[in-house]
Amino acid sequence: MQDVQTAAKIDEIIENFNFLDDWEDRYRYLIELGRSLDPLDDAAHNEDNKVRGCVSQVWLETRVAKDESGCPVLYLKGDSDAHIVRGLVALILALYSGQTASRILATDAEGLFESLDLSSHLTPQRSNGVRSMVERIKNDARAAV
């Protein structure tokens, strides 16, 4: 079952992103999304939470709980030392946090990035970083199942 708040948030982000025609405005919006992230505790900026494969430093913290039917649900927090990457973290968290592990495994982040035309506007290093973040979240989902 999809978290209604998360579904509304990702839908709102997609709508806002599609409303912006200029890529400078879209980058500014990504930066604003990053600024809106809940802060990650200093203690969570550790090697266990660090995402490998990102040029910028990225940390993802995963908490697993069970929903009413006993399915594992992942709650994610994240941070980065780079403004645009922090915005990408916010976008990925809006897509995945609060979702069941099985839904996370079935959700295609790459399709979202293509639909927003982000794929063609990210550097290869940032694209690799996004793939690393998504793979880390999917690995956490596999471990929770």
pTM, 2 dp: 0.91
Where do we find the tokens 């897509």?
A: 95
The domain spans of the chain are 4-144
Say what the pLDDT of residue 6 is: 52
- pLDDT of res. 2: 41
CA distances from 10 to 24, 55, 97, 128 (A): 21, 25, 10, 22
Contact 82, 90 (CB under 8 A): no
- At residue 49, the pLDDT reads 96
Q: Which of 30, 33, 54, 60 is catalytic?
A: 54
Within 10 angstroms of residue 11's Cβ, the number of other Cβ atoms is: 11
Tens of pLDDT, residue by residue, the chain (145 residues): 344 345 558 999 999 999 998 999 999 999 999 999 988 999 999 999 999 987 899 999 999 999 999 999 999 999 999 999 999 999 999 999 999 999 999 999 999 999 898 888 888 888 999 999 999 999 999 999 8
pLDDT at 58: 96
Radius of gyration of the chain (CA): 14
Q: Two tokens at 11?
A: 């839908």
pLDDT at 4 (0 to 100): 39
Architecture of domain 4-144: Alpha-Beta Complex (3.90)
- pLDDT tens by residue, 85-124: 999 999 999 999 999 999 999 999 999 999 898 888 888 8
**54 has catalytic annotation:** yes
Tell me the CA distances in angstroms from 44 to 40, 41, 60, 101, one per residue in order: 6, 5, 8, 22
